[in-house]
């Protein structure tokens, strides 16, 4: 009975460019070998542009399935490293073929896996294949490093603000660079990524090319534009650097953002990083601090267009469960409050606080809440670590699960880092008595409140609210006047400001 052979060919683009031994050339050699041996070709499996270090190759997956179906007697390759460049994967594949009664042969490397010496020789070939792969990676890394250290940017297309040139050095596109500088200016003025994205999506930005804005930011969703803006303001390329991981090297391209502005921008981003959600970057000063006195729900910022062409936009803090908002089936009759009125009440309360100071609290509910959050987060961290240990154990027992397990391990590692960072922040708050700053810093800030309020810096105002204000409660004071029902926006409101206890 004629031996049925499965021919497997693989090449990555780097190897093909370097060695010139393409998939077609491998296939011709394998067909000639089968003809000389008198073997029949059951099928040809080709993976072009796939790394030999991984098992998730489409043609290899099809070959493994056909081997389980016993559709051929032998797998033939040009060299062992075409099948796998990793010793553990090679051993897994050969064992799997052996269990299915399928032999494994190489045209250029004589070995016989039916006895121990042949299997040992095969393992040695796998070791050298893996060593060659690691050498290739090291040479590639060295080449990339030399390129970046010389000021060239590696492995990335030109972003907004630049275009490629024939000599490999990016040059500035003036219309696009103006958009990048405008985004940076907005960040430095205290506006967050969401606010900037909304302005770009509206297309109503004076002094900028509407065509560039439409091409770059018109089609994507708002969330995608927000992510892109955050990428722009943290990309060192715009400051004239050529990045390599965490390293920054002077680039040959011209900077769009000068060094001084770049440093201030990174300081702003660093100050915002530990802040919860949008309370630090929102256009609204009381974001995540203001609540409805009627139903206890959070209130959010809302803008309404003018009723007349010459009018102006009005801004409010609106109850999230208000039934007075058009198109919403809410359960609360409290519309909300004018934004200027609410924020002026809080600023006035901060001025009084600077004169009277914070009275000492006999109990601190915020600290109890932090203790509870710390216990929950520590339990979650233990759970993540336990799942990671289980996955490591599964990987040792079943090496063929490597790709799936490694993907899950990466996810758990990211979650572990996030939980560790959050837990460290909570520990710092607990050590300072539930406040985000120490009592000494609070005393200094109390003395500095009048100057900060006079300067009206958005970032510093938000920081004051975050540190001192626990919550702002808006109570409606009667929905009727003189027997008639008032318009929801005209209902008088009482604003109560509660401060964090010390």
Q: In which band, very low, low, confident or very high, does the pLDDT at 379 lie, cut at 50, 70 and 90?
A: confident
pLDDT the model gives residue 434: 46
Looking at the structure, tell me whether residues 377 and 495 fall in a common domain.
Answer: no
Range of weakest confidence among 320-329, 368-377, 435-444: 435-444
pLDDT the model gives residue 275: 44
For 401-419, what is each residue's pLDDT tens digit?
555 566 666 677 767 777 7
| Secondary structure (DSSP) of 424-462 | HHHHHHHHTTTSSS-HHHHHHHHHHHHHHHHHT-HHHHH
Looking at the structure, tell me whether residues 370 and 357 fall in a common domain.
Answer: no
Rounded mean pLDDT, 361-382 = 68
Domain membership of residue 152 (yes or no) is: no
Domain containing residue 197: CATH number = 3.90.1750.20
Pairing status of strand 480-481 against strand 469-476: unpaired
Looking at the structure, tell me whether residues 54 and 177 fall in a common domain.
Answer: no
Looking at the structure, tell me whether residues 234 and 265 fall in a common domain.
Answer: yes
Catalytic (active-site) positions: 12
pLDDT the model gives residue 352: 84
pLDDT the model gives residue 284: 81
Looking at the structure, tell me whether residues 98 and 233 fall in a common domain.
Answer: no
Domain membership of residue 34 (yes or no) is: yes
Q: In which band, very low, low, confident or very high, does the pLDDT at 222 lie, cut at 50, 70 and 90?
A: confident
Domain membership of residue 374 (yes or no) is: yes
Looking at the structure, tell me whether residues 18 and 86 fall in a common domain.
Answer: yes
Query: Residue 449 is part of which domain span?
Result: 287-364+434-502
Taking Cα atoms as reference points, which of 257, 239, 290 lies closest to residue 182? 257
Q: Is the pLDDT of residue 339 over 80?
A: yes
**Sequence-distant (≥ 6) Cβ neighbours of residue 452 within 8 angstroms:** 460, 461, 464
Looking at the structure, tell me whether residues 229 and 345 fall in a common domain.
Answer: no
Spacing of C-alpha 240 from chain mean position? 23
Rounded mean pLDDT, 6-27 = 75
Looking at the structure, tell me whether residues 359 and 378 fall in a common domain.
Answer: no
Q: Which of 383, 399, 426 is the last residue of a domain?
A: 426
Instruction: Give percent of the chain above pLDDT 90.
Output: 7
Looking at the structure, tell me whether residues 97 and 182 fall in a common domain.
Answer: no
Domain membership of residue 453 (yes or no) is: yes
Looking at the structure, tell me whether residues 56 and 174 fall in a common domain.
Answer: no
For 151-208, what is each residue's pLDDT tens digit?
777 666 788 888 888 777 888 888 988 988 998 888 888 787 888 888 888 876 777 8
Domain membership of residue 111 (yes or no) is: yes
Tell me if 179 sits within 8 A of 169, measured CB to CB.
no
Q: Which of 83, 112, 141 is the last residue of a domain?
A: 141
Q: Is the pLDDT of residue 62 over 90?
A: yes
Tell me if 439 sits within 8 A of 502, measured CB to CB.
yes
User: In whole angstroms, what is the distance from residue 230 CA to residue 195 CA?
Assistant: 12
First to last CA, the chain: 89
Domain membership of residue 278 (yes or no) is: no
User: In whole angstroms, what is the distance from residue 373 CA to residue 249 CA?
Assistant: 42
Q: In which band, very low, low, confident or very high, does the pLDDT at 362 lie, cut at 50, 70 and 90?
A: very low
User: In whole angstroms, what is the distance from residue 322 CA to residue 477 CA?
Assistant: 16
Domain membership of residue 56 (yes or no) is: yes
Looking at the structure, tell me whether residues 222 and 182 fall in a common domain.
Answer: yes
Q: Is the pLDDT of residue 39 over 80?
A: yes
Which range of 16-25, 241-250, 355-364, 370-379 scores highest in mean pLDDT? It is 241-250
- Kind plus residue range of the DSSP H or E element containing 317: strand 314-319
User: In whole angstroms, what is the distance from residue 435 CA to residue 286 CA?
Assistant: 18
Q: Which of 402, 426, 450 is the last residue of a domain?
A: 426
Domain containing residue 37: CATH number = 3.40.50.1390
Tell me if 356 sits within 8 A of 468, measured CB to CB.
no
Domain membership of residue 150 (yes or no) is: no
Looking at the structure, tell me whether residues 378 and 312 fall in a common domain.
Answer: no
pLDDT the model gives residue 407: 63
Q: Is the pLDDT of residue 134 over 70?
A: no
Range of weakest confidence among 3-12, 227-236, 475-484: 475-484
For 278-310, what is each residue's pLDDT tens digit?
444 567 888 878 888 888 888 888 888 777 777
Beta bridge partners of 149: none
Q: In which band, very low, low, confident or very high, does the pLDDT at 276 lie, cut at 50, 70 and 90?
A: very low
Q: Is the pLDDT of residue 261 over 70?
A: yes
Number of domains in the chain: 4
Rounded mean pLDDT, 384-391 = 76
């Amino acid at each position: 009975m004629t031996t049925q052979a499965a021919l497997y060919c693989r090449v990555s683009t780097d190897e093909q460019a370097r060695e010139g031994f393409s998939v077609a050339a491998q296939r011709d050699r394998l067909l000639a070998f089968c003809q000389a041996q008198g073997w029949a070709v059951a099928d040809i499996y080709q993976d072009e542009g796939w790394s030999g270090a991984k098992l998730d190759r489409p043609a290899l997956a099809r070959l493994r399935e056909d081997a389980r179906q016993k559709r051929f007697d032998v797998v033939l390759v040009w060299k062992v490293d075409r099948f796998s460049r990793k010793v553990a994967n090679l051993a897994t594949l050969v064992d799997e073929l052996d269990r299915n009664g399928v032999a494994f042969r190489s045209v250029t490397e004589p070995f016989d896996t039916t006895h121990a010496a042949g299997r040992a020789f095969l393992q040695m070939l796998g070791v050298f294949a893996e060593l060659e792969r690691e050498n290739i990676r090291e040479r590639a890394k060295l080449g990339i490093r030399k390129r970046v250290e010389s000021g060239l940017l590696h492995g990335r297309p030109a972003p907004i603000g630049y275009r490629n040139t024939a000599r490999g050095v990016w040059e500035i596109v003036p219309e696009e660079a103006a958009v990048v500088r405008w985004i940076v200016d907005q960040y430095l003025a205290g506006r967050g990524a969401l606010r900037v994205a909304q302005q770009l999506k509206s297309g109503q930005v004076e002094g900028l090319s509407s065509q560039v804005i439409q091409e770059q930011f018109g089609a994507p969703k708002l969330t995608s534009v927000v992510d892109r803006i955050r990428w722009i303001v943290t990309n060192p390329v715009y400051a004239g650097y050529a990045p390599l991981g965490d390293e920054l090297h002077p680039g040959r391209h011209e900077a769009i953002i000068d060094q001084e502005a770049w440093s201030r921008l990174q300081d702003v981003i660093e100050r915002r990083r530990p802040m919860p959600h949008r309370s630090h970057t929102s256009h609204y000063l009381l974001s995540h601090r203001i609540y409805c006195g009627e139903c206890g729900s959070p209130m959010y910022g809302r803008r309404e267009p003018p009723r007349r062409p010459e009018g102006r936009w009005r801004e409010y803090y609106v109850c999230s469960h208000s039934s007075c908002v058009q198109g919403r089936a809410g359960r609360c009759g409290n519309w909300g409050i004018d934004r200027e009125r609410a924020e002026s009440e809080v600023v006035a309360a901060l001025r009084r606080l600077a004169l009277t100071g914070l009275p000492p609290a006999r109990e601190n509910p915020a600290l109890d809440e932090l203790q509870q959050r710390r216990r929950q987060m520590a339990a979650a961290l233990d759970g993540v670590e336990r799942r990671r240990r289980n996955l490591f154990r599964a990987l040792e027992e079943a090496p063929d699960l490597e790709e799936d397990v490694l993907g899950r391990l990466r996810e758990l590692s990211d979650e572990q880092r996030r939980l560790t960072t959050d837990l460290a922040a909570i520990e710092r708050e607990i050590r300072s008595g539930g406040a985000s700053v120490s009592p000494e810093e609070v005393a200094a800030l109390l003395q500095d409140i009048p100057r900060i309020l006079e300067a009206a810096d958005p970032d510093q105002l938000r920081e004051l609210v975050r540190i001192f204000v626990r919550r702002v409660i808006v109570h409606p004071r009667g929905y009727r006047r003189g027997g008639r029902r008032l318009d929801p926006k005209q209902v008088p409101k009482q604003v109560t400001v509660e401060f964090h206890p010390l």
